[in-house]
Amino acid sequence: MKKKKQKVNAAILIIGNEILSGRTQDKNTAFISNWLNTSCGINVEEVRIIPDVEKTIIKNIKKLSNKFNYVFTTGGIGPTHDDITSKSIAKAFKLKYGYNEEAFKILENYYGKKKFNDGRKKMAKMPRGAKLIYNPSSAAPGFMTKNILSLPGVPSILNSMIENCKRFLIKGSRVHSKTLNLFTVESNISERLGLIQKKYKKYVDIGSYPFFRLGKIGVSIVSRSTSKDKLLKVNKDLLELVKNKKIKILKI
Amino acid sequence: MKKKKQKVNAAILIIGNEILSGRTQDKNTAFISNWLNTSCGINVEEVRIIPDVEKTIIKNIKKLSNKFNYVFTTGGIGPTHDDITSKSIAKAFKLKYGYNEEAFKILENYYGKKKFNDGRKKMAKMPRGAKLIYNPSSAAPGFMTKNILSLPGVPSILNSMIENCKRFLIKGSRVHSKTLNLFTVESNISERLGLIQKKYKKYVDIGSYPFFRLGKIGVSIVSRSTSKDKLLKVNKDLLELVKNKKIKILKI
């Protein structure tokens, strides 16, 4: 008998003044969220972006840790004074903050004893008991504390580490999606679309998103569900609506 | 005598499954945050991304409304079934939800009586007492309820409306910033940088962000402060650090 998979959820906590101020465009949310769903069947249900302020980090870590199965943090684990994620997580859980032996060895080996200065040593400091998330690009590991997985903020480095998170995660049921791109406006289909959503309320989430492509206005209808069968049923109903309203489909 | 400006802060609440699932990359945070700071001297201190779920929207609206001077919501004010921002805000503040007369007239005039169907009419439904934020691109107005300003999710439309938010906002003191792009690594400067941050702790926030450009690794040092004088002082200290360490500056 196939074991029924459970729902597993996560939150993302983006830590960094540069994202809040608008100086840097966050790219980690979309990447992590996509990866979690397709590779682990984990659904991201909340994202927060907060400043590099210890009190704020602690409060949010506690809150999200209680509320979700996993919390992914990005940013604040580098060598400079504004990198305070590790210390804040230690404080949030009342854990000792100090050198992680394995991380220390990895970094010492990577930089060589001579170049292993205080800034670099700082990247080996973690909450006691943290499990390492290895970093194939630039050595400095991320780490897992309780249900919190801490990754760096630089997207290319984060992306290279994400597969190393997998061994820490329980798999859930993947959300599948199907998109229908229509050359119409939302208000032309909103009523019928609402009825279809009502019919499949329990199983499928239907979203409607305007787009502008090839100089034309359109609407993408995105259906999401853990059941492929239910998605096919919704798609059949949608295609009937499209046929009735004589709407053109954009094939891409 | 020049009146001393106060600190004014804001939060952004991004409402939409498409952002959470990673399907759509959020661009509104960076735009709103930049605009608020440069045009109004308002500092964004928290961003949350949440799904199209009424209970979740209500909870977050209440929480953020209490905590910040202003809350900007994006998304969920269109004509389809998944557009539930207006109704949820009404419920959060126990306000009646119904047609806003002015919005109704604007939309009826824009579409013409014949084409003004139920989906389009829905966009005129708002919490009672809402003040309109006019929309020069596609007519459907945003609105302000208490300290919440609700804008659409489509970035081009949101961008065209943002100036119309200004009349509702109290101006704060603008945060100025200065960036120094250095061809070095963070750990080479982290100690000295930490000391400079300590010296100006009360007035200036110094952030350090690695970059990769022209095939080289570098670090952007970003100083932010409401005082231009203090920024200049920090910059002087930073340039001395750069000179001492013989670091090359990237001029762009």
Phi, psi of B53 (to 5 degrees): -125, 120
- For residue B59, the SS3 value is helix
- A163 DSSP 8-state letter: G
Which of chain B's residues have a Cβ under 8 Å away from the Cβ of A205? 17, 82
Task: pLDDT band for A4, please (50, 70, 90 cuts).
Answer: low
Domain for residue A154, yes or no?
A: yes
| Domain stops at, among A120, A139, A168 | A168
From the list B102, B66, B82, the residue with the least C-alpha distance to B15 is B82
| Domain stops at, among A111, A139, A168 | A168
- Do A235 and A218 sit in the same domain of this protein? yes
Task: pLDDT band for A6, please (50, 70, 90 cuts).
Answer: confident
Closest CA–CA distance from residue A88 to any residue of chain B (Å): 17
- Do A55 and A26 sit in the same domain of this protein? yes
- Do A195 and A139 sit in the same domain of this protein? no
What are the pLDDT digits (tens) for A25-59?
999 999 999 999 999 999 999 999 999 999 999 99
For an interface test with A, give the residue of B20, B77, B241 to mutate (most A CBs within 10 A). B20
- Do A134 and A164 sit in the same domain of this protein? yes
For an interface test with A, give the residue of B187, B237, B245 to mutate (most A CBs within 10 A). B187
C-beta separation of A223 from A206 below 8 A = yes
Domain for residue B1, yes or no?
A: no
Chain B residue whose CA is closest to A121: B187
At residue A216, the pLDDT reads 85
Q: Do A78 and B208 touch (CB under 8 A)?
A: yes
- Do B89 and B15 sit in the same domain of this protein? yes
Q: Do A23 and B78 touch (CB under 8 A)?
A: no
Domain for residue B2, yes or no?
A: no
Q: What is the mean pLDDT of chain A?
A: 95
Domain for residue A64, yes or no?
A: yes
- Do A193 and A235 sit in the same domain of this protein? yes
- Residue A201's CATH number: 3.30.70.600
Task: pLDDT band for A120, please (50, 70, 90 cuts).
Answer: very high
Q: What is the mean pLDDT of residues A86-96?
A: 98
Chain A residue whose CA is closest to B79: A187
Please check the confidence at residue A164 and state whether its pLDDT lies above 80.
Answer: yes
Residue A226 identity (one-letter amino acid): T
- Do A133 and A63 sit in the same domain of this protein? yes
At residue A9, the pLDDT reads 97
For an interface test with B, give the residue of A13, A177, A185, A187 to mutate (most B CBs within 10 A). A187
Concatenate the DSSP letters of all residues of A173-222 into one string: PPPEEEEEEEES-HHHHHHHHHHHHHHTTTT-EEEEEEEEETTEEEEEEE
Rounded distance between C-alpha atoms, residue A203 and residue B221, angstroms:
49
Rounded distance between C-alpha atoms, residue B62 and residue B92, angstroms:
6
Domain for residue A150, yes or no?
A: yes
Count how many domains chain B has: 2
Q: Do B48 and A52 touch (CB under 8 A)?
A: no
Q: Do B197 and A82 touch (CB under 8 A)?
A: yes
At residue A73, the pLDDT reads 98
What are the pLDDT digits (tens) for A192-214?
999 999 999 999 999 999 888 77
Say yes or no: ipTM exceeds 0.90: yes
Concatenate the DSSP letters of all residues of A98-131 into one string: EE-HHHHHHHHHHH-TTT--HHHHHTTEEETTPE
Chain A residue whose CA is closest to B156: A212
At residue B252, the pLDDT reads 72
Please check the confidence at residue A111 and state whether its pLDDT lies above 90.
Answer: yes
Please check the confidence at residue A159 and state whether its pLDDT lies above 60.
Answer: yes
Q: What is the mean pLDDT of residues A74-81?
A: 95
- Do A29 and A140 sit in the same domain of this protein? yes
Q: Which residues of chain B have pLDDT under 50?
A: 1
| CA A114 to the chain's CA centroid | 37
Rounded distance between C-alpha atoms, residue B81 and residue A163, angstroms:
37
Domain for residue A47, yes or no?
A: yes
What are the pLDDT digits (tens) for A136-150?
999 999 999 999 999
Rounded distance between C-alpha atoms, residue B51 and residue B68, angstroms:
21
Q: Which residues have a Cβ under 8 Å from the Cβ of B63 and sit 6 or more positions away?
A: none
A215, with CB counted inside 10 A (0-12, 13-18, 19+), is exposed
Domain, as residue range, for B138: 8-168
Domain for residue B33, yes or no?
A: yes
- Residue A29's CATH number: 3.40.980.10
- Do B145 and B219 sit in the same domain of this protein? no
- Do A137 and A228 sit in the same domain of this protein? no
Please check the confidence at residue A1 and state whether its pLDDT lies above 60.
Answer: no
| Domain stops at, among A109, A139, A168 | A168
Closest CA–CA distance from residue B1 to any residue of chain A (Å): 30
- Do B107 and B155 sit in the same domain of this protein? yes
Please check the confidence at residue A2 and state whether its pLDDT lies above 70.
Answer: no
Cross-chain CB nearest to A187 (options B32, B117, B208): B117
- Do A99 and A212 sit in the same domain of this protein? no
Domain for residue B126, yes or no?
A: yes
Whole-prediction pTM: 0.93
